[in-house]
Structure 1
Amino acid sequence: MNEDPTIRVLVADDHAGLRRRVADVLVAGGLEVVGEAASADAAVEAAERLKPDVALLDIHMPGSGIQAARRISESLPDTVVVMLTQSEDDADLFDSLRAGAAGYVLKAGNAAALPAALRRAVGGEAAIAPSLVTRVLGEFRNPKQGLFARRSPAGAKLSAREWEIMSMLADGRSTDEVAKTLFVSPTTVRVHVSTVLRKLQVKDRASAIQLLKTS
């Protein structure tokens, strides 16, 4: 007899073949797949209509899985959000957790372990890929340097990557230096900074940095 057959899962990924394989693994593990979606908007719509126990979301599907996670977490507090992704990037990991995800599972991991991970998430445990657990613990053990350090109203508006960039700029690094450190273009850094200025409703970097330091 399968364990916990009533756990209902929505699977959202823009790759139909992967959705089917994930659904097969979940059903074989005793879970019920109640719906599928190929984009963030479709995932939110399906979640609101089906009210699953778990919304299993790909991060980089059209419309952003992280945005879908935030919307589902806000509108459906009883639905547990778990990210299923190829990304081991810190910014994706921490942005997902800040958006309300209770789990972060890697597509390259052991597929057979996925049903158990979702059961843990429904049971109130964090379902995070073992290779990433030390990064999360490190953020909490070093709050002055971690991406979770800012729980202020201003800091909470920023994504993990935006906070990372602003921290580097506050340390006196130039746009080019930040870009080289993060392996992105200077234009990408400037775009992130512009987004921060808009979110914080300030006119320049100095004002943004001051606000983040004092709020």
Structure 2
Amino acid sequence: MSMPFPTPHADDETPPVRVLLADDHPSIRAGLRLLLETAADIEVIGEAADGAVAVQQAQSLRPDVVIMDARMPGTDGIAATRQIAQASTGEVLMLTTFDLDEVVFGALRAGAAGFLLKSADPQELLDAIRRIAAGDGVIAPEVTRRLLRTFVADEGAPVTGTDAVTASASGRSPGSPASVADGTERAFGELTPRELDVLRALGRGLSNAQIAEELMISLATVKTHVSSVLAKLHLSSRMQAAIHAREAGLT
């Protein structure tokens, strides 16, 4: 789901990626800050020890990326991610020691733009921050295969958003083929053919650069289409769009 990209270099014309750290362990925040401060193109602008403070900090500081721990006292990382994604006050990279399904899927459904384990290499984390700030999504290799296997569209696939509401209102089970088909026809009917192509590509885990190459359009055009897809489907992140596409059988 992720591919290595050349590491960008900071220059006078490119502002640094502004990062907010949210973790309840001071030592982990300190370690992350030390690591991120080694990169000239990344700037730590704030820290939070729990989810509620992270939401407040995101609102006031407007970071490019929020590095969010999953499990914190009070408002946990997944709930905080949902609030930040809904308010569009930053892109969230979930960074946790837990690769349990409920954490992975909960984070992505909440609107996280990426998911990494704390065991990730430093360069992997730095690259993930840059990619998310550029509009791409990142998933830890350790959970990618499980994620794709879980969201292969079939009769037992879970659905959320428009499809879940449709199924509930109609009395059908959320995973039934009829509910998925009906929800797809209604929700995706607002998308243009090109936006549907972009949604399919998101479902396959392609980055913006890969989508631009495959569809032979500019990177700026890809970003415009992605934004339009998210707005029309009432989604908070490209990861939610990817899940939506796979659940609807578009990939």
Residue in 2 aligned with 1:170?
none
Q: Give the Å deviation of 1:115.
A: 1.1
Which ranges of structure 2 fall in alignment gaps of 5 or more residues?
1-7, 169-173, 175-251
For residue 23 of structure 1, what is the amino acid of its counterpart? R
Establish whether residue 153 from structure 1 lines up as the match of residue 165 from structure 2. Answer: yes
**RMSD, matched Cα:** 2.4
For residue 42 of structure 1, what is the amino acid of its counterpart? V
Q: What TM-score comes out, normalization by structure 2 length?
A: 0.57
Q: What TM-score comes out, normalization by structure 1 length?
A: 0.66
Residue in 2 aligned with 1:69?
81
Establish whether residue 121 from structure 1 lines up as the match of residue 132 from structure 2. Answer: yes
Which ranges of structure 1 fall in alignment gaps of 5 or more residues?
157-162, 164-215
Partner Cα separation in structure 1 for residue 70 and residue 141 of structure 2: 18
Q: How many residues align?
A: 157
Q: Which of structures 1 and 2 has the larger relative contact order (alpha carbons within 8 angstroms, sep 6+)?
A: 2
Deviations 1:119-170 (A, max 9, x none): 11122221111111112211332443334477312779xxxxxx9xxxxxxx
Counterpart of 1:83 in 2: which secondary structure?
strand
Establish whether residue 80 from structure 1 lines up as the match of residue 58 from structure 2. Answer: no
Residue in 1 aligned with 2:109?
98
Say if 1:88 and 1:105 are closer, same or farther in 2 by CA, change over 3 A.
same
- How does 1:36-55 map onto structure 2 within 5 Å? 36-55=47-66
Percent pairwise identity: 37
Q: Give the Å deviation of 1:38.
A: 0.2
Partner Cα separation in structure 2 for residue 143 and residue 149 of structure 1: 14
For residue 12 of structure 1, what is the amino acid of its counterpart? A
Partner Cα separation in structure 2 for residue 138 and residue 149 of structure 1: 17
Establish whether residue 131 from structure 1 lines up as the match of residue 146 from structure 2. Answer: no
Partner Cα separation in structure 1 for residue 117 and residue 76 of structure 2: 17
Partner Cα separation in structure 1 for residue 16 and residue 53 of structure 2: 23
